[in-house]
């Protein structure tokens, strides 16, 4: 008589872990402007660290009156996943110890060469892109630059699609195996142009063939009845969803990275 077939244990996905696991608050990240709680999450034998941002801990923003910041963070993750670039850590909307909120996988930043720098020069060196001049005290200025890095360039495209109003240096997390993540996407998807970022180095330059292909895929995924459109419809307003479609169309029509509009501060403050 043969032994019964053993069924291998089911592998718990990161999204399942974050959505269904038991959250335990371990501390608070105090430098954040809204409530950001560092937690552990466990589910079916798997454990991880995560960030939990309860909606109850959000400070109201006059120019983002609809929905909540947690929903926008999840929406940014869904768009990132649709690009195939995986630029945003796994993020879900769930109930937690302080009510509904965003739960995102904690990313341990890896030691890496700088992505941003201030240099005493008029032009950036090879391998760097100029952002603009910044005051550094006593009437002096320095050139703010970011690395000419393909990962940053992809993130610049994602930010243009989701209309990120707050891409600071501290929101860039280099991780193991050469990965780079962007975090803190609460102020995104506004129907008005509010793009504020440190990643202006490619402004006005032609989009890469890869970016054009990704944007074409996003356009299809955002059509009525398509998967990404359905997910975003539960997270942002219909007007904001239409504006997202329009931004994708505009990027494809121009074939270039966007440039500062002049109608809105182009660089977030403080930049880090």
pLDDT at 3: 43
- 18-29 burial, b at 16+ Cβ within 10 Å, e below that, comes to bbebebeeeeee
What is the tens place of the pLDDT at every residue in 236-255?
999 999 999 999 999 999 99
- Average the pLDDT over 55-64 and give the result: 91
Cα gap 187→91, rounded to integer Å: 15
Please indicate whether residue 133 or residue 91 has the higher confidence score (pLDDT): 91
> What digits encode the pLDDT tens for the residues 202-215?
999 999 999 999 99
- Residue 30 — very low, low, confident or very high, per pLDDT cuts 50/70/90? confident
How confident is the model at residue 174, as a pLDDT? Answer: 92
5 pLDDT exceeds 60?
Answer: no
Q: Are 186 and 73 in contact (CB under 8 A)?
A: yes
State yes or no: pLDDT of 127 exceeds 60.
yes
Q: What does the pLDDT read at residue 10? A: 61
Task: For 249, list phi and psi in degrees, rounded to 5.
Answer: -60, -40
Give the bridge partners for 174, in sequence order: 180
Mean pLDDT of the chain: 91
Least confident residue range of 6-10, 78-82, 196-200: 6-10
């Amino acid at each position: 008589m043969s032994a019964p077939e053993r069924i291998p244990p089911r592998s718990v996905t990161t999204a399942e872990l974050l959505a269904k696991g038991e959250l335990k608050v371990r501390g608070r990240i105090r430098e954040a402007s809204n409530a950001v709680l560092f937690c552990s999450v466990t589910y079916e034998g798997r454990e991880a660290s995560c960030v939990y941002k309860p909606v109850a801990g959000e400070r109201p923003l006059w120019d983002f009156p609809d929905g909540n910041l947690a929903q926008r963070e999840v929406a940014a993750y869904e768009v990132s996943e649709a690009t195939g670039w995986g630029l945003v850590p796994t993020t879900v909307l769930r109930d937690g110890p302080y009510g509904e909120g965003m739960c995102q996988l904690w990313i341990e930043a890896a030691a890496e060469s700088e992505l941003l720098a201030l240099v005493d020069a008029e032009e950036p060196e090879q391998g760097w892109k100029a952002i603009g001049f910044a005051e550094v005290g006593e009437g002096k200025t320095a050139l703010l630059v970011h690395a000419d890095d393909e990962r940053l360039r992809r993130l610049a495209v994602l930010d243009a699609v989701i209309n990120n109003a707050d891409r600071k240096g501290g929101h860039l997390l280099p991780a193991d195996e050469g990965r780079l993540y962007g975090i803190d996407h609460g102020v995104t998807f506004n129907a008005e142009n509010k793009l504020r970022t440190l990643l202006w180095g490619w402004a006005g330059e032609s989009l890469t063939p890869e970016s054009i292909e990704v944007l074409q895929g996003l356009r299809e995924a955002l059509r009525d009845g398509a998967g990404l459109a359905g997910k975003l419809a539960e997270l942002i307003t219909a007007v904001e969803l239409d504006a997202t479609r329009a931004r994708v169309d505009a990027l494809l029509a121009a074939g270039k990275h966007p440039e500062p509009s002049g109608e809105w501060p182009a660089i977030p403050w403080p930049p880090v």
